[in-house]
Amino acid sequence: MRAPILFLLLISLANGGFAQDVKKEIEKYQQMVADSSPVELFELQGEILWAKRQGPNNASLEQCDLGLGAGVLKGAYAQLPRWFKDADRVMDLEARLLHCMGTLQGRSREEASKRVFGNEDQPSEMEYLSAFVASQSRGAAMAPGQAHAKERAAYALGQKLFFFRAGPWDFSCASCHGEEGKRIRMQELPVLSSPAAARPVVATWPAYRVSNSQFKTMQWRINDCFRQMRMPEPAYTSDLTIAIATYLTVNGKGEPYRGPGTKR
Amino acid sequence: MKRALKLGIAALLAACGSMPAVEHHFASEADLLEIQAVLKRDLRVRGSATLARLDADAVQQACNLNGNAPPEPLVKTLEAQQMAAINFPAGSLIGDWKRGESIAQSGRGMQWNDGPKDVAGGSCYNCHQLAPQEASYGTLGPSLLGFGKLRGNSAETQKYAYGRIYNSKAYNLCSQMPRLGHSGTLDEQQIKDLVALLLDPDSPVNK
């Protein structure tokens, strides 16, 4: 619905040819779409799934320990990724939800992660749950774990991965997210190694994407970057993806969470 | 006038291969081994994207180890090797700019969701301004608006444009631009069509 408006707007601005005006108009457009975001519907559906009894144990996720104790939702998302003693592993939200689907609901990893990235017609259970759990951290400062040695190791690995160039197109994360004020097409690119740029990013993911009417998680965001980098596909919630998520989130720490966000 | 001057300066900077300042990250040999092991463990083959893509070549290795600024002698050696591997076709390198424009528009190719029958593009507009009619262009690379107007289309310029698209690393070792010919993304005719988009006087790039 909104895409043609943006298109016309850009065409008219292109004739003026002033990048600053384009930027201002994009910001106006972003504000406009944020005002009519359906994020709340995803949060509500997630809340229903959180309490829904399912799996071989016919149990809900309500006793899931997201790091602040069994069943504590408030502020839990803002402290992820973090190291979990029971798994002896650093986990992000999606890794932890998958863990709870196994331990509480008795579901196999294979079944629970069969369809984690949904589409416009049918969002995934993981997307709904991510929207709900993240929404319960609104206002809390982002404070991912960095006290445990494995948390610090995840950050260090994420940093190395961020700058590592590979694949047929020689890309690293920094190829697109390494220089200030750059765009791909009209999409502005945050320099994710810089706290100033990382803060608003980590404070607004997961997010609803207006251009394709889909709710997207951070695991999806990282996955899709690998696709565009012409690399093979990262395994869902693998240590590699969590290292990158840890690096980004620690770079953006301190920002009050205000998601789930709305993206172009 | 002022705008034309600015574009001219941008094109000149591009010609010198200079890059704006960015954060440099120097990996050690041990870091590279660790990262390779992690990638091989946690990445999965999908579609055309196989794990063989993770094997680093000498250019990637040199750029990763040296924060994208290897010592000059190594740069010269590797750039010469990359240059020697470019297959320059004989004769005119100027194809059809109209086909070039659609190749420049297309972001397909080499992604795991691209089918074997999908024709690859150059993703040019993702990073460069080209035809003035296309308002949605990226800025990771220099603007190429007026590229041929500024340089003419002599045999030497054709060769430079062809080579730069085929393998940007032959000119600027740690360039962020993909090696579109060297990687097998674009074929000879497609690169000629892109050269036409840049150099043909009838191309909108030069209007």
Average pLDDT, chain A: 92
User: What is the mean pLDDT of the segment spanning B174-197?
Assistant: 98
Percent of chain B at pLDDT > 90 equals 87
Collect all residues of chain A within an 8 Å Cβ-Cβ radius of residue B43.
226, 231-235, 240
Minimum mean pLDDT range among A20-29, A139-148, A254-263, B55-64 = A20-29
Q: Which residues contact A42 (CB under 8 A, 6 or more apart)?
A: A123, A127, A128, A131, A132, A208, A215, A260
For residue B169, what is the nearest residue in chain A, using CA coordinates?
A170
User: What is the mean pLDDT of the segment spanning B75-96?
Assistant: 98
pLDDT, residue B25, reads 85
pLDDT, residue A137, reads 98
User: What is the mean pLDDT of the segment spanning B108-123?
Assistant: 96
pLDDT, residue B21, reads 52
Spatial contact of A216 and A164, defined as CB atoms under 8 Å apart = no
CA atoms of B47 and B38, how far apart (whole Å): 21
Q: Is A14 on the interface with B (CB under 8 A)?
A: yes
To which CATH superfamily is domain B2-22+70-206 assigned? Cytochrome c-like domain (1.10.760.10)
Whether the pLDDT of residue B2 is over 50: the answer is no
Three-state DSSP class for A188? strand
For residue A232, what is the nearest residue in chain B, using CA coordinates?
B49
User: What is the mean pLDDT of the segment spanning B165-172?
Assistant: 98
pLDDT in tens, A119-156: 999 999 999 999 999 999 999 999 999 999 999 999 99
Spatial contact of A81 and A240, defined as CB atoms under 8 Å apart = no
pLDDT, residue A37, reads 78
pLDDT in tens, A71-128: 999 999 999 999 999 999 999 999 999 999 999 999 999 999 999 999 999 999 999 9
CB contact under 8 A, B44 and A178: no
Q: Is A18 on the interface with B (CB under 8 A)?
A: no
User: What is the mean pLDDT of the segment spanning A211-222?
Assistant: 96
Q: Is A225 in the active site?
A: yes
Compute the count of residue pairs across chains A and B with CB atoms less than 8 Å apart: 136
Say which of B39, B64, B183 has its CB closest to residue A168: B183
Spatial contact of B192 and B95, defined as CB atoms under 8 Å apart = yes
Percent of chain A at pLDDT > 70 equals 88
DSSP run (H or E) holding A6: helix A3-16
Collect all residues of chain A within an 8 Å Cβ-Cβ radius of residue B54.
166-167, 231-232
A89 φ, ψ to 5°?
-155, 145
pLDDT, residue A33, reads 65
CB contact under 8 A, A182 and B41: no
Say which of A184, A232, A243 has its CB closest to residue B46: A232
**Choice between B21 and A3, residue whose per-residue pLDDT is larger:** B21
Collect all residues of chain B within an 8 Å Cβ-Cβ radius of residue A241.
42
Whether the pLDDT of residue B58 is over 90: the answer is yes
Q: Is A186 on the interface with B (CB under 8 A)?
A: yes
Say which of B20, B38, B112 has its CB closest to residue A233: B112
Q: Is A68 on the interface with B (CB under 8 A)?
A: no
In one-letter notation, the amino acid at residue A190 is P
Whether the pLDDT of residue B186 is over 50: the answer is yes
Q: Determine which of A229, A230, A237, A239 to mutate to test the interface with B (most B C-beta atoms within 10 Å).
A: A230
The domain spans of chain B are 2-22+70-206
